[in-house]
Structure 1
Amino acid sequence: MTRLAELLPFNAGETIASYCSRLAVACGYRHSRSFANDLGFRFQGLVVGNYTDVKQFASVLDVPESKLSPGVIVTENRTSTFSGQKLTRALMERYRLRLCPLCIRDDERNLEGRKGFRAYGRTEWLVSPIRTCETHGTKLITPIGEDARQYMHDFAVNLAIAAANVEEFLSQAEPMDTDSLQSYVQARLRGMPTASPWLDTMPLYTAVRLCEIVGAAERHGVRFKPKTLSDQELSAAAHTGFNILSGGADEFRDWLVGKTEGFYRKNSDLGGRFLFGRLYEKVAYETDDSAYDPIRHIMREVVINTLPLGPGEEFFGPVTERRIHSVHSASREYGIHPARLAKLLAAAGLITVEASKFTFEKILVAADTMERFVAEAKKGLNATEAKAALNAKGTQFEQLVKLGYIKADVEDETGVFSFINRFSPSEIEEFLRKLKGAVTCKDDGSLVDLQQTRKRAICSFGEVVELLFGGKLSRVAVASCEYGLGATRVDVDEVRDLTAGASHDGIPIHHLVKLMPSSSKITRVLLAEKRIPTVRLRNPVTRNLQDYVAPKDLAAFMREFVSLGSLATQAERRTWTVKKELHDRGVMPIFVAGGMPFYRRSEAEIAD
């Protein structure tokens, strides 16, 4: 070891450039480049970790190269490597001083070596994601007014300029907590176990950038602007990002899936920039570094698994298979109208009510499910098609569905989903087979179709079908000019006899007027006031429920009461004359209906 090496010790964690700079200034040089040239090596060579220059510097100091190697930062093609870790130039702060003022103060107070030159530059101070001094809990700073371009990388020279006003220099120290990403970076640089084996599989610069972008996107949206974030906010974003990703690839995948929900917003698209913002821009446009390939692969898998991308489209390479269908993409592929497809999916329970309100491009179903669903849907018939297959007239088809002869909802073969208002061709065929089986004779021209039969027999269509399938009709034929329901012919009289209602002796209301010696107005009042009771009975012909008067109730009323009009008619006298005579004899009306007085017949006849 030479006297030069004894002048100042090489400290743990110090950069080799910082050590050379301190020795140069301690020896009276204005800058390190002159010092290095005089000793036969290049200062810039030490800065970039050139082996020849490092070897010559070690020879000048008469120390083993291994003693200086921890402070060597090898820089090639904009990438710096030290402690076995790689960091890009964007993640290194090498052109300006970056330090902890309190560490500089403590170095001068506590370290060995010539006074005034004890403070040294740490390798970790050059790493951008390391923002806080662990020892003092303060933010690493670039001294106010410091311009390192004249003495780039020359730590001691720049420090002397920055620390000329000691009080102002120390006043720049401000408290700041250590974020979790910084702790992770320091663990990797120090060769210690980390909290994320998955991030360990990546180069350090890749892990850092991923955490910072994910954290900022989580806090400020995927389209955040990095230049608008303060150091404190960058630290908070790094902390958030590391906490999301430290659990591994599954956590990253879940985070990406959450971001794909932006697809459902208005005016959205399937573009990676829209979905993932800065993260996509970084890995798609700003770098083709293969170190980001695992990230690209996960992003690709998430998008293909959650969004309707198919062959002919690209996302980090051509898409070769479709895993998700939208109603729009399925309608184009399978030739089915999107509105109809959306209704069928909603009816089958494959999409929620909320999802059915989206545009067709945003209603999503797994591709294999959609393929099977559409295949089954094409097998079923809609109402118009089923009606035509049956040759049903008027409302016959709707009545068959209502009565359960035709099932309206068709299940797929697996029973996983059903098609609302879709009709199975096989069920239609089975109905027609049963209809054909009901035929008992040839059409001789005397039989009529089911539509006319229903009207002329005054019965329901369902009753006719029930008689047909129940084997109750002896004369059933098929017209050669038609098919299905429209071709079926039956005997109207036979149907009428079989569907006629039970007979009874009830008097219909419209017949009552003919049986009573009163006007229809008076009769309606008598019925409304319950003077004559009514009963609800079924019409033997139409079989509709209607009001009737029992003969015994009518007879009872006629025996009990008599109207003034009837008395006057019987006596062949004027009503006012009869009324006056009854009044004079003390016979008063029992009630008045429709303006006509009614007397108790026994009293009126006695009075007469």
Structure 2
Amino acid sequence: MGREQVEDQGQERHQIWSTSSMNRLSEIINFNAGESVASYCSRLAAACGYRHARSFGADLGFRFQGLAVGCNDDIEKFRSVVGVPTSFLAPGIISSDNRFSLVAGQLLSRASVQRQRLRFCPYCVLGDECQKGGRRGFRSFGRVDWLVKSIRCCEDHRVQLMTCDKDPPPVFIHDFAANLAQLGDVRRMLSDVEFMKPDRLQRYVKERLRGKQTEAAWLDSLPLYVAVRLCETVGVAERHGTQFHTSNINEHEWSACAGAGYDLLRGGEQDFRHYLRRQVKCFYGKLSDMGGRSIFGRLYERLAHETEDKAFDPIRQIMRDVALDSLPLGPGDEFFGPVTERRLHSVQSASVEFGVHPKRLRKTLVNEGLIPSEDKSKTFERILLDAKTMQRFALVAKSSLNVPDAKKYLGAERVQFEMLVKHGFIQPVGGNGASAEVAVDRRFSPDDLDNLLRRLKAADTRADNNGLSDLREIMSKAGCTFAEVIELVLSGTLAKVSWVAGETGLAAIRLDADEIKAKTIGDDHGCFSLRQLETVIPASGKIIKALVEGGHLPSVKRRNPVKRNMQTVVEPSALEAFMNQYLSLGNFATSRRTRTWNLKRDLDHAGIAPIFVAAEMPFYRRSDIERF
């Protein structure tokens, strides 16, 4: 056929479609629910004898490519040609640019749709010819759902959607009917069908494409392609580890991963945060280097390095927030942008910032109870503490003094210094030597030492020190202990206290020996010691201790007249009141010359219950058992 003949036929065909017969196009082939406009046009072109839809559109004055990507002008021309309103075609219109497609009002990225290769369910294709209307041979239509990659199977037939192996020639792109015709008899493909159940993410995607309300409100707030990508990535990481390789995952496994990811995230943002925190916890149980990729794996890599899409910013912000709450990140670090605040410090980061050796810092933190003892086996960068607490403690540790410097600072002799520590007048920073959970050289905070000196200095009552003695002489003359003297000075009750100019700390204190002796030699307090009560009540030491600690037997603190130490005693009046009101089962049994268990049984039968129990010994109200 010559070129002139082809042009004549084209003009003749255009004249034919320009007549009223074009209004009958919609009667030749039905536009089905769920069908794309490109598929409808493709089937019309094939039914009218065209090899491809592009020449069909060219003859009728619209561009098939424009129709496939949602160009308004081409859609309007096609609508006019077919003779239907735009609203009739609206559900099947897919608007696309180089990056995104708008499908049923949902935004999908180029990677989340398959528009180049034919993708279909062979059972649906064969069933359309039997069940749908319109000209035979052209009833099979392309569903919008088949273009969405996260919809992996046909829910009606429970089979995996089939995708052609190769991209079609440019003239056949989007041309469903033409591409389907190239396959030949679809029945031959049924032997290659793989059965597959729809995953929960697929059902979620279909609900959004149908405009339905879903159970996943937080995922609904994200563009559909972001929600899908997040669920799939989280699901793969959950099933294959954070450093997964997609090349090892087939469609069936992708479906399982998609469903797993959706189940993890459908509860909302808090579920996503919980997942991220779980990844952080898992990371801290390993020995890998710290970093976004080491902790969050491919999810971090994709968002940090493989896409700059702003639609993923809400995900990045959540990951950044969890990272700042879980990792020792601070100014100078990067995590989806420069880090400008610090919420956590590690021993390593605090060591670098504040100039404290990490080993000493770790030991003192354990001894102070600021971190668990099991952390002492962790590496420095994995031992964490909130930034403010760590800074405060690290600065104290840095400025702390060793024992020789602390003794010199206080002006204390060796024994005096040890007594100050033993009796709690000063506290070591991070552990008291060998008695600490982790052995560490004792160091002392200058602020703690200054506080003790200020309290001692506040007791100064006179400028001259005539007739007064230093601490060593006082202890010898008064026959008291060093701790007693310091307690008296700190109490502020001494009338004669002086500080010698030119001396430092404790060496400068001068006291009156007679005053100290008078205050340290105590009178007989006339109370019962706990040991004496064992005979008076009588009861075992264990029971006496339980009565006092439980508040049943009121006690007071009195100074032992001999040892001059404070001891717990019971005043006679309190003991008398107790003895008049209560009686133990053991003493009651002794008075009746019977066994305690026999007596307990009789009391129970009589309906008399104990008032309280001390060290497993029941006590009864005397008024209750008198009638017994």
TM-score (norm 1): 0.68
1:563-585 CA-to-partner distances (Å, cap 9, x unmatched) read: xxxxxxxxxxxxxxxxxxxxxxx
Deviates more, 1:214-223 or 1:146-155: 146-155
Once residues 365 and 270 of structure 2 are traced to their aligned partners in structure 1, the CA distance between those partners, rounded to angstroms, is 31
Aligned to 2:383: 363
Deviates more, 1:207-216 or 1:219-228: 219-228
Distance 1:389 1:60, change over 3 A: same
3-state SS in 1 of match to 2:408: helix
Distance 1:339 1:275, change over 3 A: same
2:471/2:510 contact within 8 Å kept: yes
* Cα displacement (A) at 1:195: 1.4
Once residues 302 and 271 of structure 1 are traced to their aligned partners in structure 2, the CA distance between those partners, rounded to angstroms, is 13
1:198/1:248 contact within 8 Å kept: yes
Once residues 223 and 369 of structure 1 are traced to their aligned partners in structure 2, the CA distance between those partners, rounded to angstroms, is 34
* Cα displacement (A) at 1:356: 2.5
1:97/1:146 contact within 8 Å kept: no
Deviates more, 1:191-200 or 1:40-49: 40-49
Aligned to 2:452: 427
Aligned to 2:204: 184
> What fraction of aligned residue pairs are identical, expressed as a percent?
49
1:251-299 CA-to-partner distances (Å, cap 9, x unmatched) read: 1122122222355355544432222222222222222222111111111
1:189-227 CA-to-partner distances (Å, cap 9, x unmatched) read: 111111111111111111111111111112212221223
1:327/1:361 contact within 8 Å kept: yes
2:328/2:346 contact within 8 Å kept: yes
2:346/2:384 contact within 8 Å kept: yes
Taking the TM superposition and a 5 Å limit, the aligned residue runs for 1:446-595 are none
- Alignment equivalent of 1:208, drawn from 220, 224, 228: 228
Distance 1:245 1:374, change over 3 A: same
Aligned to 1:561: none
- Alignment equivalent of 2:34, drawn from 10, 13, 25: 13
Aligned to 1:510: none
Distance 1:464 1:249, change over 3 A: closer
Once residues 250 and 483 of structure 2 are traced to their aligned partners in structure 1, the CA distance between those partners, rounded to angstroms, is 82
Find out whether 1:353 has 2:364 as its counterpart.
no
- Alignment equivalent of 1:124, drawn from 133, 145, 157: 145
* Cα displacement (A) at 1:4: 2.3
Aligned to 1:92: 113
Taking the TM superposition and a 5 Å limit, the aligned residue runs for 1:258-273 are 258-261=278-281, 263-264=283-284, 268-273=288-293
* Cα displacement (A) at 1:91: 0.5
Find out whether 1:38 has 2:38 as its counterpart.
no
Aligned to 1:247: 267
* Bigger radius of gyration among the two: 1
Taking the TM superposition and a 5 Å limit, the aligned residue runs for 1:267-282 are 268-282=288-302
2:153/2:198 contact within 8 Å kept: yes
1:323/1:366 contact within 8 Å kept: yes
Aligned to 2:213: 193
Once residues 297 and 464 of structure 1 are traced to their aligned partners in structure 2, the CA distance between those partners, rounded to angstroms, is 60
Distance 1:434 1:405, change over 3 A: farther
Once residues 186 and 429 of structure 2 are traced to their aligned partners in structure 1, the CA distance between those partners, rounded to angstroms, is 87
Once residues 211 and 483 of structure 2 are traced to their aligned partners in structure 1, the CA distance between those partners, rounded to angstroms, is 87
3-state SS in 1 of match to 2:352: helix
* Cα displacement (A) at 1:300: 1.5
Letter in 1 for 2:326: T
Q: Which runs of 5+ in 2 are unaligned?
A: 1-21, 431-441, 490-496, 512-628
TM-score (norm 2): 0.66
How many residue pairs align between the two structures?
473
- Alignment equivalent of 1:114, drawn from 128, 135, 145: 135
Aligned to 2:530: none
Taking the TM superposition and a 5 Å limit, the aligned residue runs for 1:168-183 are 168-183=188-203
Aligned to 1:153: 174
Once residues 305 and 469 of structure 1 are traced to their aligned partners in structure 2, the CA distance between those partners, rounded to angstroms, is 45
Once residues 51 and 234 of structure 2 are traced to their aligned partners in structure 1, the CA distance between those partners, rounded to angstroms, is 45
1:180/1:242 contact within 8 Å kept: yes
Find out whether 1:328 has 2:353 as its counterpart.
no
3-state SS in 2 of match to 1:384: helix
Letter in 1 for 2:31: F
Distance 1:427 1:114, change over 3 A: same
Aligned to 2:336: 316
Distance 1:485 1:368, change over 3 A: closer
3-state SS in 1 of match to 2:101: strand
Aligned to 1:414: none
Aligned to 1:256: 276
1:330-387 CA-to-partner distances (Å, cap 9, x unmatched) read: 2333343332222221112111112222222221111122234345657865533332
1:13/1:124 contact within 8 Å kept: yes
Q: Give the aligned CA root-mean-square deviation in angstroms.
A: 3.9
Aligned to 2:535: none
Aligned to 2:250: 230
Once residues 301 and 469 of structure 1 are traced to their aligned partners in structure 2, the CA distance between those partners, rounded to angstroms, is 51
1:244/1:251 contact within 8 Å kept: yes
